[in-house]
Amino acid sequence: MKIVVLDGYTENPGDLSWSGLEALGELKVYDRTPEEEIVKRIGNAEIVITNKTPVSADTMEKCPSIRYIGVLATGYNVIDTDTAKAKGIVVSNIPTYGTDAVGQFAIALLLEICHHIGHHSEAVHKGRWENNKDWCFWDYPLIELAGKTMGIVGYGRIGQTTGRIAQSMGMKVLAYDAYKNPALENENCRYAELDEVLSQSDVIALHCPLFPSTEGMINKDTIAKMKDGVIILNNSRGPLIVEQDLADALVNRKVYAAGLDVVSTEPIRGDNPLLNAPNCIITPHISWAPKESRQRLMDIAVNNVKAFLDGEPVNVVNK
């Protein structure tokens, strides 16, 4: 059984092991695969593992040996799943592996906005404290979160994790989700309609999937419904936000700050308007990337292949 990993570097830059897949077949791992090399590198492999490298209908036509495609991520939009289904190719994803890491990162973005710890540490190392006239200084407003309201758009596993941490800091949570679980409600957390979440929240965190109905959901019209000085967090999907509208709102101070781990095009383009927007923290899509999270992803990916080889595939997205 030939197995090829098309873009393994981000999952495993050298601190994990591919031994689980090596035990299942003849394995070839590529750090990255340019588009023009995809067909050649798949060749006659029966099992293809990919993260962001696309596997199109044309690729499947040219690589008829493919029997299984495993995605090293939750999202699988890089795969033509309809063609795969028509050809009897099983496509599996990793539905949950970084819940705690992503929820933690959302709160890290928020705390950085509230305290700018990195900036103030750098200022101290540059000598500003030792040469300061007073015994302390700060360059940004310092924000206490207790008593404030966090609106969470998308209250699935990750949204709930973020919500629990927010509540532990004394925040109240307004949750918006198409599927409600009343058992999650308490005196500090309740479900609300989207307009109420937008208008009543001091912080808005996006944890929803990218669908046609959610693409561009944060735009000039929805921002207008928000409190003046709101904080917006997004470590879900970049296209949930109309970036020029958010940049404009940061400039005119309708939005106090934004903490983003995702943008509409990744890697980020140099002309992205958020790069020059004030008080906008942008990190390079790393919420998912703690070693513990990536090891969990690796283990699930191996188990997905094992299940396929045993004739009982799991986490199938193209049934």
Rounded CA separation 96/315 (Å): 10
Q: Are 6 and 42 in contact (CB under 8 A)?
A: yes
SS3 120: helix
Give the contacts of 161 (CB within 8 A, at least 6 positions apart): 99, 100, 102, 103, 104
Q: Are 288 and 98 in contact (CB under 8 A)?
A: yes
Rounded CA separation 79/69 (Å): 8
User: Of 60, 72, 82, 77, nearest to 6 (Cα)?
Assistant: 72
| Identity of residue 5 | V
Rounded CA separation 104/81 (Å): 32
| Identity of residue 209 | P
Residue 93 CA, distance from chain mean position:
15
Catalytic residues: 237, 266, 285
SS3 27: strand
Give the contacts of 131 (CB within 8 A, at least 6 positions apart): none
Structure tokens at 182: 């009343």
